[in-house]
Amino acid sequence: MAERQDVTPDDQPLLVADHLGKNYGRLTACRDVSFALYPGEVLAIVGESGSGKSTLLQLLSAQLAPSAGRVSYRMRDGVLRDLASLGEAERRFLFRTDWGYVHQDPAQGLRMAVSAGANVGERLMAVGWNHYGQIRDTASTWLERVEIDTARIDDAPRTYSGGMRQRLQIARNLVTEPRLVFMDEPTGGLDVSVQARLLDLMRNLVSELGLAAIVVTHDLAVARLLSHRVMVMKGGRVIETGLTDQVLDDPREPYTQLLVSSILPA
């Protein structure tokens, strides 16, 4: 931990988005988005369906090429680099070591037919781990951390419940100790009690590991529980941004006020 903070001092941004935009033909999915994400910071991107949240996440994680602007990332050597200038090999290496990506549908982020242990171990083997015992020990440690019974290490995730799958996906992403995790609706499709448990787990992991995270969600409760800062999107633009409590308790924009007031009272 301390060692990693030396590499990236907290006062320097980890990820910088600079006037990002994306057009699909005449359709503007996302325009003029700028922000900086600092190490250990959790940023929530909220907005209704079609507001450009997912496009923005894909731009930030270099899965889509932006039509305008650029994304820069501070590599482990402390140099801020434009993601578009990275070669494919470098980008893919970044993706499976320094980054995590938690999909809404765990089937997209997991290998459903191979065991949980191998799912967690895959990233380790991809960076050259070559000792079965060590890989397995690390995998079972991570299963414990995400509260999955280690007796199920040899079961395939398709035998897991939705909540377990999502926790397994998180373990699989965190095993290489990434510095930045992207999450796309991580609690979507889970029932409320499972959501609560997952959120609790994620909040603990993020603070223990000092992770930076970008969480896309339409669920304001998720944003309130997990994030330090919130960006509200509408029609491809960021219309409001600020500290989570400030935005959710005292929204300025009429649209944000609508979003906040449309939560059903518990």
Residues that bind another protein (CB under 8 A): 88-89, 92, 111, 114-115, 117-118, 121-127, 130-133, 135-136, 153-154
| Residue number with CB closer to another protein (126 or 258) | 126
Angle (CA) 86 88 91, round 5°: 60
| Residue number with CB closer to another protein (92 or 252) | 92
The nearest distance, CB 75 to another protein, in angstroms, is 18
d(CA 53, CA 7): 30
The nearest distance, CB 201 to another protein, in angstroms, is 25
| Residue number with CB closer to another protein (113 or 263) | 113
What is the distance between the terminal CA atoms of the chain, rounded to a whole angstrom?
38
The nearest distance, CB 57 to another protein, in angstroms, is 21
d(CA 195, CA 191): 6
The nearest distance, CB 159 to another protein, in angstroms, is 14
| Residue number with CB closer to another protein (34 or 134) | 134
| Residue number with CB closer to another protein (91 or 203) | 91
Q: Where are the beta strands (DSSP E) in 38-188?
A: 42-46, 68-74, 80-82, 99-102, 180-184
The sign of the CA dihedral 110, 115, 117, 118 is negative
Cβ distance 218 to 54 under 8 Å? no
The nearest distance, CB 109 to another protein, in angstroms, is 14
